């Protein structure tokens, strides 16, 4: 087994051949096994959807194995509502069991530590090996704690949390907010785009401000943004902040965090003055999950994996399909759970077409809707539709489709919850 491959080795593996469809560079199928084996790595929005739809759309003719280290799925969508205390982690937790019981997915609770795209084998943390015919990689993102001096240690000992993947840190950040004195400062730093879920830091700041306005009104929220301006739904957020929170919430752009001091809860910036807070929520830059990086597949700035958008096959490794936040997204496409779920369906259709030696869908479509709350009682959304344009080999926004809310409103709080429940059912139900 070759655990790690350099980029040249991976590219050489592409030359190993395989039928190439007439429509795209996506791999064809040539082994002729009657029950092909597809292994899916990662049971998040992208991977769980892929595992389920591989079984459903192949009428159970593909053997599907899902490998995920966690026993349950905990949703990052809606997790900002755990930080303001409106929801608990249990509300966001769903079982993987229906994937096995209803759809016949074999689930292995473990972590993949390496894979060999030439021999088509992968190795689990306990040392077991699995063979595959096609591999779906959906490892999500890893935070780059080391990009901010002192953050790795401060995060490890729980003093400064990111809480950018729902779990114990999300509840930990809520506990820090509850313990903060009235008159204290909650500061959140936003990394340079692209990062997971563009509106989510601003939603978090809004919900924290609503909490403080209600329970600790002498306090302050500071949004310290590395970007030039609010990255998503900017005018709606800024108006909502002014109308609802006034001086309680302050937005500062061009604040690129470079270091933290966990003892004094101080954050240092590239140019601007240091800021001290009572609760410091530092969001570091992110990049594709380690498995994809270690395999040499994160070829864009050593951060993101380049795929053929016609089928989501890696540009570097044949029969390896990469979906979700780990990819270099098409222009104007955010890293979102909604899109990760859509990537999975395009990839699944392409894998089945390849296995059945049929042509690919020449015009796959994707949709996205991001809901954001500006308070527990007012939500808004931004929606978009993307179509694959074969001539440009990428997805492009469809003109006059989608849009944003006119203003935050009560109905969209309910719709945001319904959207999340639909997503969870579509992935796991
Ligand atoms: C606060 C917040 C709010 C958000 N709100 C929204 C929203 O309202 N709408 C929306 O569309 N999106 C939202 N998102 C974004 C959404 O959570 C992500 O875009 C989505 O989870 C990406 O899906 P994924 O499958 O790529 O990654 P993930 O969902 O993170 O799944 C990756 C999985 O891979 C597993 N894994 C990693 N490495 C390995 C390995 N080596 N072996 C086996 N398994 C492995 C992990 O354990 C994990 O379960 C939000 C995110 C945050 C942080």
What's the rounded mean pLDDT across residues 171-176? 98
Confidence of residue 3 (pLDDT cuts 50, 70, 90): very low
Nearest to 40 by CA among 115, 136, 120: 136
| Long-range contact set of residues 120-128: C-beta below 8 Å, sequence gap at least 24 | 120/319, 121/1, 122/39, 122/41, 122/67, 123/1, 123/3, 124/67, 125/69
- Ordered DSSP codes for 247-270: GGEEEE-S--EEEEETTTTEEEES
Chain-centre distance of CA 89, in angstroms? Answer: 18
Going from the Cα of 76 to the center of ligand 1, the distance in angstroms, rounded, reads: 7
Contact predicate 350/360, CB 8 Å = yes
CATH number of the structural domain 28-69+110-144+288-361: 3.50.50.60
- Here the tokens at position 176 are 């820090």
Q: Kindly give, in sequence order, each residue whose CB lies less than 8 Å from that of residue 36, ignoring residues fewer than 6 positions away.
A: 29, 62, 63, 133, 134, 355
Confidence of residue 34 (pLDDT cuts 50, 70, 90): confident
What's the rounded mean pLDDT across residues 357-377? 97
**Edge-to-edge strand list for the sheet holding 257-261:** 257-261, 266-269, 275-276
Q: ∠ at Cα 221 (74, 377), nearest 5°?
A: 60
What does the pLDDT look like over 251-270, one tens digit per residue?
999 999 999 999 999 999 99
What's the rounded mean pLDDT across residues 424-428? 98
Q: Provide the pLDDT for residue 27.
A: 80
- Give the rounded percent of residues in the chain with a pLDDT score beyond 90: 92
Question: 413: part of which helix (H) or strand (E)?
Answer: helix 411-428
CA distances from 61 to 53, 334, 382 (A): 12, 33, 38
Share the mean pLDDT of the chain: 93
CA distances from 329 to 43, 326, 339, 364 (A): 20, 9, 10, 15
Q: Which residues line ligand 1 (CB under 6 A)?
A: 41-47, 67-70, 76-77, 79-80, 111-112, 138-140, 164-165, 196-197, 200, 289, 291, 324-326, 335-338, 340, 370-371
User: Is the pLDDT at 335 greater than 50, yes or no?
Assistant: yes
Going from the Cα of 232 to the center of ligand 1, the distance in angstroms, rounded, reads: 19
Q: What are the domain boundaries of the chain?
A: 28-69+110-144+288-361, 145-286
Q: Provide the pLDDT for residue 5.
A: 37
Contact predicate 349/364, CB 8 Å = yes
Confidence of residue 21 (pLDDT cuts 50, 70, 90): very low
- Ordered DSSP codes for 190-231: EPSSS-BSTTHHHHHHHHHHHHHHHH-TT-EEEEEESSSS-S
User: Is the pLDDT at 92 greater than 80, yes or no?
Assistant: yes
Going from the Cα of 290 to the center of ligand 1, the distance in angstroms, rounded, reads: 14
Contact predicate 40/66, CB 8 Å = yes
Q: Provide the pLDDT for residue 32.
A: 59
Going from the Cα of 45 to the center of ligand 1, the distance in angstroms, rounded, reads: 6
364, 399, 369, 170: CA torsion to nearest 10: 100
Q: Evaluate whether 28-69+110-144+288-361 and 145-286 have a shared fold.
A: yes
Confidence of residue 28 (pLDDT cuts 50, 70, 90): confident
Going from the Cα of 197 to the center of ligand 1, the distance in angstroms, rounded, reads: 10
What does the pLDDT look like over 98-113, one tens digit per residue?
999 999 999 999 999 9
User: Is the pLDDT at 14 greater than 90, yes or no?
Assistant: no
Question: 94: part of which helix (H) or strand (E)?
Answer: strand 93-95
Q: Provide the pLDDT for residue 108.
A: 98
CA distances from 152 to 71, 72, 191, 283 (A): 26, 26, 16, 12
The 10 Å CB-count burial string (b at 16+, else e) for 88-121 is ebeebbbebeebeeebebebbeebbebbbbeebb
pTM confidence score: 0.94
Q: Provide the pLDDT for residue 2.
A: 33
What superfamily would CATH give domain 145-286? FAD/NAD(P)-binding domain (3.50.50.60)
Which ligand 1 atom is nearest residue 42's CA? 34
d(CA 14, CA 276): 51
d(CA 227, CA 51): 36
């Amino acid at each position: 087994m070759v655990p790690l491959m350099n980029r040249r080795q991976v590219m050489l593996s592409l030359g190993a051949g395989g039928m190439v469809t007439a429509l795209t560079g996506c791999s064809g199928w040539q082994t002729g096994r009657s029950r092909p084996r597809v292994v899916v790595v990662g049971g998040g929005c992208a991977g769980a959807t892929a595992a389920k739809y591989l079984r459903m759309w192949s009428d159970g003719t593909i053997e599907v194995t899902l490998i995920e280290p966690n026993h349950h799925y905990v949703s990052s969508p809606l997790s900002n509502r755990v930080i303001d205390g409106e929801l608990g982690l249990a509300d966001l937790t769903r079982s993987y069991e229906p994937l096995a019981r209803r759809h016949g997915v074999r689930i292995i609770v473990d972590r993949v530590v390496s894979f060999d795209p030439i021999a088509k084998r992968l190795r689990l943390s306990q040392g077991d090996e699995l063979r595959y015919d096609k591999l779906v990689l959906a490892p999500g993102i890893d935070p780059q704690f080391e990009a901010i001096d002192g953050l790795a240690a401060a995060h490890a000992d729980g003093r400064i949390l990111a809480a950018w993947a729902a779990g114990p840190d999300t509840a930990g950040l809520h506990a820090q907010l509850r313990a903060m004195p009235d008159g204290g400062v909650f500061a959140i730093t936003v990394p340079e785009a692209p990062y997971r879920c563009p509106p989510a830091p601003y939603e978090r700041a809004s919900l924290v401000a609503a909490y403080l306005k209600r329970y600790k009104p002498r306090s302050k929220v500071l949004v310290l943004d590395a970007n030039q301006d609010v990255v998503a739904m900017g005018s709606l957020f800024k108006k909502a902040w002014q109308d609802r929170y006034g001086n309680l919430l302050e937005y500062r752009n061009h604040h690129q965090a470079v270091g933290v001091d966990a003892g004094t809860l101080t954050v240092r910036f590239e140019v601007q003055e240091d800021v001290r807070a009572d609760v410091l929520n530092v969001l570091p830059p992110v990049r594709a999950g380690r498995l994809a990086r270690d395999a040499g597949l994160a070829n864009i700035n050593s951060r993101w994996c380049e795929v053929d958008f016609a089928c989501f096959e890696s540009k570097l490794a044949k029969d390896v399909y990469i979906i979700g936040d780990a990819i270099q997204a098409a222009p104007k496409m955010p890293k979102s759970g909604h899109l990760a779920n859509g990537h999975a369906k395009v990839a699944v259709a392409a894998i089945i077409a390849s296995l059945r030696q049929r042509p690919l869908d020449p015009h796959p479509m994707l949709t996205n809707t991001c809901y954001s709350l500006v308070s527990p009682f007012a939500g808004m959304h931004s929606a978009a539709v993307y179509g694959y344009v074969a001539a440009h080999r990428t997805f492009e926004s469809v003109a006059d489709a989608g849009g944003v809310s006119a203003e935050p409103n009560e109905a969209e709080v309910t719709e945001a919850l319904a959207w999340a429940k639909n997503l969870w059912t579509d992935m796991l139900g």
